[in-house]
A and B are shown apart, each in its own frame.
Chain A
Amino acid sequence: MAHAAAVNRPPERGLDVYTQKVGMWVFLCSEVMFFAGLIGSYIVLRFGALENTWPEPAEVLAVNITAFNTFLLICSSVTMVKAFAAAQAHDDQGIKKWLLATTLIGAGFLGVQVYEYNELINHHFTPSNCVVVRNGVEETCSILYGSTFYTMTGFHGFHVLLGVICLGWATIRAYRGHWSGGNSRGIEILGLYWHFVDLVWIILFTIVYLI
């Protein structure tokens, strides 16, 4: 480029961020809107429900188990950060260890969620049925509670499942040495996704289980 010097402004080629990372951020914007749609519907339906038809979360859900599950998922975010740090630090053993830990904790979260679903369905809390026991008497409650609960947590669980599959694949690659030598981009992008899923869960846990 001989006449490049004649250009009166410096060449612009975009952000100082590599393309895959930009792509993941853009994709996560889309995911935000997806969950915003679901959560927004939940809020509208919950506040639009007639009085006393929407049960208190503790009346139906086992909040303690889920609180433990939330703790698990937060831990997995920490291990994910550790894995990325290890990749940046060329620590091959660390990558394997922390990726494996993240995968297992993610799978553990899913396991607890499946257990929770199973228990709830056994107690006749389904997407189309809602029963609460008040003063020893079974009362029906708004089925929208179940509808929204299963849709939101189900889609979150689906995202966790996708994450766990990718993590598992990344772990296998770690054992094959794919991430060695500072090749940390894949782990960083996966980490972005994983933290996003974690963040969504914290919001869901707050509005579905606590409030």
Chain B
Amino acid sequence: MATAIAEPTGRAVIEEAHPQSFLRKYLFSTDHKVIAAQFLFYTLFFLMIGGLLAVLMRQQIAWPTEPLTLGGILPETMVAKATDGAYMLPEFYNALVTMHGSVMVFLAIMPMLVGVWANFLIPLQLGAHDMAFPRLNMLSFWTMVPAGILTLASFFVVGGAAGAGWTLYAPLSARPDLTGVEMGQILWLIALVFVGLSSILGSVNYITTVINMRAPGMTWFRMPLTVWALFITAILGLLAMPVLSAAGIMLIFDQTIGTSFFIPSNAAGDALSGQPLLWQHLFWFFGHPEVYILILPAMGFTSEILAVGSRKPVFGYKAMVWALISIAFLGFIVWGHHMFQSGMNPALGLAFTVSTLFIAVPSAIKTFNWMGTMWRGNLQLHSAMLFAVGFVAMFAIGGLSGVFMASTPVDIYIHDTYFIVAHIHYVLFGGSLFALFGAIYFWFPKMFGRMMNETLGKIHFWLTLVLFNVVFFPMHGVGMAGMMRRIYDWTGYQHLEGIGATNQIITIAAVGLFASGFLFAFNFFWSIWKGEKAPDNPWGASTLEWSVPSPPKHGNWSEIPVVYHGPHEYSHPDVTDKDWLGQNERPDVVTPAAGSH
């Protein structure tokens, strides 16, 4: 059997035999597990940066007319120093708004979902020695590095960091004189092109690996839902990111070499006019699939962890797969729902309403199936499971609040208000980030060979759950009151008179939420060195990665496993010595073919 291994894997085994220098092993490694760890450290760092930006921003929103605490340590491009303290400048506030969104989406959540976990899990869960293209994989990480450096640098150039919102709406983003931001905007756009390149290289790798490197017996419908979700996500990234790259490059040209793709001329009827709405169409053609890039892997992790934690097979495995596929497909035809009030032809709004509302159907299917997985289970409420359940609970709120925007007439009122801010955070934080925390607690033992502290993990979960809701639930109310997004000071508006106390509560909780992140960070780093040694399969899980040592050695398998069962076989009545059945063990036990019902 070992001789039948295909050739890319052979090299991995050979490499393992040679001692590697520090550089080759940790810095320029081609081992997917090391690259995943690199991505993890990178994205946790940017998660902290993004959180810091959010806390700064929240302080300004809660006390818009007061000087900034510790504002004196910031440079004069960010704050104005008056006699009674340092006040945040509106341009810095715009930079915070822009860069909080951009950093979180492009440098924290997306690479954490895909860069970390697609890298780590796809070969391990499919039974491959490594990725299809290990060197391309390394390149995919190292193209993210300049993106991060450029982003950080952009805060300190003249004019400050980009300030046209993470959606970069032209012409605000295309003309320096309109924002006062010059280099910052260009640096961020270049960073975006790097992110796109990294993402495309990664996607090529993940898709090829899933198509061609599955272990014998690992049929499409025996793949763990995590791999399914990451595979669909990679397809979305592959097809959506290049559109953003093309649009971003055009925007860079508008900024630098005098083209006018997105810049209309001032005078009416001028022949030179570019089209601001073209930017929005291109951006959201990318942007809506991006939303699913940010949630589908989280759905995969949740399905997996819920099954393990409930000691039950995933309820409706095939329905889950088809729901993933239909969400991805619909994701490409709904971009216009971000543009209902944009001046786009209202008749188009009708079509986009229908397609958008239909996304609620597969989302509902998934939610009910998760509940079905928990139903009559034997729930093991460890930290990872808590976060997975938290994901379902929070994602449900985020999904339901999305129905408001999909209904175009209601969207007239709530578009660009804090209602939207609440919605995206319930999906991105309550959804993606909860699932990511769950994934880290769950796979940490496999990645680093040690367990994370459960007590700290549970405290972290409850703090996060409570504070998260105190931060973001009231935003629905603030949005209903009509508070616009991205405003530096709301005190001048008569319809916003009653929201001061709410905003202050939100900010105080946000600081707590940020601080609770450090509890997690402490647990994370402490456990890397001091955590309890992890057994091979601490959770009693059935997928392939748990059949190898923690952490797996370079090359993962000395012998490629053979797969006999679906991915989530728990509490099978014929298996009596334990309540799980590994995908690669006991061919004598009959399990439902390809996860059918």
Contacts and interface: CB of A to CB of B under 8 A. Distances in A.
Q: How large is the interface on A (under 10, 10 to 19, 20 to 34, 35 or more residues)?
A: 35 or more
A39 B238 CA distance: 18
Interface in B243-298: 243, 245-247, 249-250, 253, 257-261, 269, 271-275, 278, 281-282, 285
Contact of B278 (A36, A41, A143, A146): A41
Contact of A50 (B1, B245, B269, B564): B269
Given A4-B562, A13-B212, A31 B242 contact: yes
Contacts of A37: 242-243, 245-247, 282, 285
Interface string A1-21: 101101111011111011110
B167 interface: no
A45 B274 contact: yes
Contacts of A18: 212
A144 B260 contact: yes
Contacts of B183: none
B212 A26 contact: no
A151 B239 contact: no
B146 interface: no
Given A127-B258, A144-B260, A144-B274, A23 B208 contact: yes
Contacts of B200: 27, 30
A151 B242 contact: no
B190 interface: no
A55 to B, nearest CB: 11
Contacts of A35: 246
A23 B204 contact: yes
B258 A128 contact: yes
A53 interface: yes
Contacts of B249: 151, 155
B238 A12 contact: no
B219 A14 contact: no
B56 interface: no
A12 B1 CA distance: 14
A15 B211 contact: yes
Interface in A57-111: none
A33 interface: yes
Most buried by A among B6, B212, B257, B275: B212
A19 B212 contact: yes
A23 to B, nearest CB: 4
B503 to A, nearest CB: 39
B587 interface: yes
A48 B275 contact: yes
B240 interface: yes
A147 B275 CA distance: 13
Contacts of B547: none
A34 interface: yes
A30 B203 contact: yes
B587 A33 contact: no
A147 B261 contact: yes
Contacts of B260: 128, 143-144, 147
Contacts of A14: 211-214
A142 B245 contact: no
Interface residues of B, number: 54
B581 interface: no
Most buried by B among A15, A44, A143, A155: A143
A40 to B, nearest CB: 8
B54 interface: no
B320 interface: no
Contact of A34 (B133, B136, B243, B274): B243
Interface string B199-227: 01001110110011111111110000000
A128 B245 contact: no
Given A22-B211, A128-B259, A11 B562 contact: yes
A101 B307 CA distance: 59
A91 B566 CA distance: 48
A148 B262 CA distance: 12
Nearest to B271: A53
Contacts of A12: 214, 216-220
B241 interface: yes
A148 to B, nearest CB: 8
Contact of A19 (B132, B217, B240, B281): B132
Contacts of A29: 238-239
Given A12-B217, A27-B204, A37-B243, A144 B261 contact: yes
B246 A38 contact: yes
Contacts of A3: 587
A49 interface: yes
A175 B218 CA distance: 42
A9 B219 contact: yes
B567 to A, nearest CB: 14
Nearest to A140: B271
B216 A13 contact: yes
B285 to A, nearest CB: 8
A23 B238 contact: no
B278 A44 contact: yes
A15 B211 CA distance: 7
A204 interface: no
Interface string B582-595: 00000110000100
A15 to B, nearest CB: 6
A141 interface: yes
A157 B186 CA distance: 23
8 contacts: A13-B212, A18-B212, A36-B243, A41-B246, A48-B275, A53-B272, A143-B258, A143-B259
Given A23-B133, A142-B271, A147-B274, 4 more contacts: A30-B241, A33-B239, A140-B271, A142-B272
Question: Lowest 9 CB-CB distances: which A-B pairs, in order?
Answer: A11-B216, A128-B258, A37-B246, A53-B271, A147-B259, A34-B242, A14-B212, A6-B587, A37-B243
